[in-house]
Amino acid sequence: MARADFQTLPGTRDLLEPESGRVRRLVARFATEAELAGFGQIVPPMFEDVGVFTRLGEASDVVSKELYSFEDKGGRAIALRPEFTASVCRAFAEQRPVVPWKTWYSGPNFRYDKPQKGRYRQFDQVGAEVIGSQDPDVDVELISLAWRFYQRLGLPDVVLLLNSLGDFAQRPAYLAALRTHFEANAADLSEQSQATMAVNPLRVLDSKRRQDGPVVAEAPLMLDYLSDDAAAAFDRVQRGLKAVGVPYELAPRLVRGLDYYTRTTFEFVSSGLDAAQTAVGGGGRYDGLIEALGGPPEPGVGFALGVDRTLLACDAAGVFGPADTSVDVWVVATTEGTEALELVEELRAAGIRADRSYDGRSMKAQMKASNRSGAAIALIVGEDEAAAGTVSVRTLRGEGRQTPVERRQVIEKVRSLL
Ligand code: HAM
């Protein structure tokens, strides 16, 4: 095939049916779950003042390396959103909805990351956030919402990893202990981790490099540094998850790619994905973020699920396949008149999925197209039918019976056959 003048950029894709239909159905499923739990939708803009995102913390790759930021024609420094949480917090600070504010979202995000399977520069998320409550029950209900969503998709192998990163007040003592440990063992760490250690020692815990394994395994744990309050809250989250039957694994070294997390943090991983990309979703508390964006000191908690990766996990598990998008009726007409046009329009107006061929194709070519279309019924109008004021109704599955029907009774007949 000849190459087109332009191709999609690295890390971006065209989604055509049936994949695009799967995304649509997946988002609809998520919307149903979120609405069952009292969440209303937010549709924030896809680009914001770059500050909305840089205040997430410059130590994370998402902010320091992967932002699509540029100056617009008005001289404003803006960025395409790399995630929704910052926009939701900015919207909260700006709009001040009544708390607790429960909101869900879906749409594309942009990160200048190294593209590979399951990692794209434009990728979709669905997610939910609750702003204005410290109640650990909120953490549990959010996790349970995501869990129910995965269960209803039929994904069998999703595992919930759970940790607490405590409050910011305890963070310096913990970071100091981490740094001491990593410095003492620097010689055994990879070069990358030695560099990361100086900027953000927490991220070293997330290293997947084999060489770092033994040093990371011996590193001090945030769970040992939790305040009494944070420890009690974490205990309540765990009791709540047990009470509602959501299984979890404690993951005391779990840190996330963004820096705003406090207290409960979690990730959903799927063994159906490649080792580097096992996270199908994640989230946690971010009790200081709204204030950092100039809003009131309200706490927040939420999660986002990667749509593309969730669908890859569905593929691996053989669940949530593409839906049948074929039409019900294919109209075949070889007259010079407007029969085909009138029939498809009448069918569609009656709520029956209908399509046809164009460009005056032969009867044979049109019948071939009708068979290929997956339609259950073909309506055929040749010169004979046109003269007699009838339409031949042919069933395309099974035996393939054909009967003439009065033109004005076609819709009724089609309905009786579907
Ligand atoms: P995140 O872990 O950066 O968290 O992203 C959530 C999910 O989005 C990931 O688990 C993954 O499935 C998907 N994802 C992330 N980057 C890519 C990519 N480059 N290509 C494909 N999929 C990707 C957040 O975004 C937070 N805002 C979650 C949150 C909400 N925390 C609190 N509230």
Q: pLDDT tens digits for 300-315? A: 999 999 999 999 999 9
Q: pLDDT tens digits for 209-251? A: 889 999 999 999 999 999 999 999 999 999 999 999 999 999 9
Average pLDDT of the residues in 17-38: 97
| Cα–ligand 1 centroid distance for 305 (angstroms) | 6
Contacts of residue 183, defined as CB under 8 A and 6 or more positions apart, other chains included, come to 197
What SS3 class is residue 171?
helix
DSSP of 102-160: EEEEEEEEE-----BTTB-SEEEEEEEEEES---HHHHHHHHHHHHHHHHHHT---EEE
Q: pLDDT tens digits for 137-155? A: 999 999 999 999 999 999 9
Torsion angles phi and psi, residue 264, rounded to 5: -60, 125
Could you tell me which of 296, 245, 276, 299 has the C-alpha nearest to residue 134?
299
State residue 1's pLDDT score.
Answer: 61
Q: pLDDT tens digits for 91-128? A: 999 999 999 999 999 999 999 999 998 999 999 999 99
| Cα–ligand 1 centroid distance for 257 (angstroms) | 8
Out of 258, 264, 307, 312, mutate this one to test ligand 1's pocket (max ligand atoms within 8 Å of CB): namely 258
Contacts of residue 418, defined as CB under 8 A and 6 or more positions apart, other chains included, come to 328, 352, 376, 377
DSSP of 308-377: HHHHHHHHHHT-S-------SEEEEE-SSSSHHHHHHHHHHHTT--EEE--TT--HHHHHHHHHHHT-SE
Is 81 near ligand 1, meaning CB less than 6 Å away?
no
Is 201 near ligand 1, meaning CB less than 6 Å away?
no
Going by CA atoms, what residue is nearest to atom 21 of ligand 1? 119
Q: How far is CA 285 from CA 4, 117, 189, 204, in A?
A: 46, 29, 30, 21
Contact in structure between 178 and 219 (CB atoms under 8 Å)? yes
Q: How many Å apart are CA 202 and CA 172, to the nearest integer?
A: 11
Compute the mean pLDDT over every residue in the chain, rounded to the nearest whole number.
Answer: 94
Could you tell me which of 139, 349, 383 has the C-alpha nearest to residue 237?
139
Q: Which amino acid is at 411?
A: I
State residue 227's pLDDT score.
Answer: 94
Out of 56, 83, 114, 163, mutate this one to test ligand 1's pocket (max ligand atoms within 8 Å of CB): namely 83
Q: How many Å apart are CA 303 and CA 298, to the nearest integer?
A: 17
H or E segment and range at residue 379: strand 377-381
The domains found in the chain, sorted by start residue, are: 19-170+226-317 (3.30.930.10), 329-417 (3.40.50.800)
| Cα–ligand 1 centroid distance for 282 (angstroms) | 6
State residue 358's pLDDT score.
Answer: 95
Instruction: List the beta bridge partners of residue 249.
Output: 161
| Six-digit token string for 263 | 């207290």
Could you tell me which of 135, 126, 127 has the C-alpha nearest to residue 99?
135
Residue where the block lists tokens 């100039």:
294
Q: pLDDT tens digits for 358-396? A: 999 999 999 999 999 999 999 999 999 999 999 999 999
Q: pLDDT tens digits for 343-353? A: 999 999 999 99
What SS3 class is residue 306?
strand
Is 355 near ligand 1, meaning CB less than 6 Å away?
no
Residue-wise burial string across 140-174, b where 16 or more C-beta atoms lie within 10 A, e elsewhere = bbbbbbbbebbeebebeebebbbbbbbbeebeeeb
Q: How many Å apart are CA 28 and CA 239, to the nearest integer?
A: 31
When pLDDT is cut at 50, 70 and 90, the band that residue 397 belongs to is: confident
| Cα–ligand 1 centroid distance for 405 (angstroms) | 56
Q: How many Å apart are CA 38 and CA 296, to the nearest integer?
A: 23
Contact in structure between 33 and 281 (CB atoms under 8 Å)? no
58, pLDDT greater than 80: no
Is 284 near ligand 1, meaning CB less than 6 Å away?
yes
DSSP state of 47: E
Could you tell me which of 131, 92, 80, 103 has the C-alpha nearest to residue 30?
103
State residue 156's pLDDT score.
Answer: 84
| Cα–ligand 1 centroid distance for 82 (angstroms) | 9
Let me know if 303 is exposed, middle or buried by CB neighbors in 10 A (0-12, 13-18, 19+): buried
Pick the range with the lowest mean pLDDT from 159-163, 194-198, 261-265, 358-362: 194-198
Contact in structure between 84 and 281 (CB atoms under 8 Å)? no
Pairing of the two strands 354-356 and 377-381? unpaired
Pick the range with the lowest mean pLDDT from 3-7, 42-46, 118-122, 396-400: 396-400
State residue 255's pLDDT score.
Answer: 87
Among the atoms of ligand 1, which is closest to the Cα of residue 280? 12
Q: How far is CA 390 from CA 110, 334, 410, 418, in A?
A: 56, 14, 9, 20
| Cα–ligand 1 centroid distance for 121 (angstroms) | 12
| Six-digit token string for 337 | 């008149």
Contacts of residue 274, defined as CB under 8 A and 6 or more positions apart, other chains included, come to 117, 118
**Percent with pLDDT over 70 in the chain:** 99
The Cα angle at residue 219 between residues 218 and 225, in degrees rounded to 5: 130
Is 105 near ligand 1, meaning CB less than 6 Å away?
no
Is 282 near ligand 1, meaning CB less than 6 Å away?
yes
Out of 60, 113, 125, 290, mutate this one to test ligand 1's pocket (max ligand atoms within 8 Å of CB): namely 125
Residue where the block lists tokens 């239909």:
21
Is 339 near ligand 1, meaning CB less than 6 Å away?
no
Q: pLDDT tens digits for 398-409? A: 888 999 999 999
2, pLDDT greater than 80: no
Is 308 near ligand 1, meaning CB less than 6 Å away?
yes
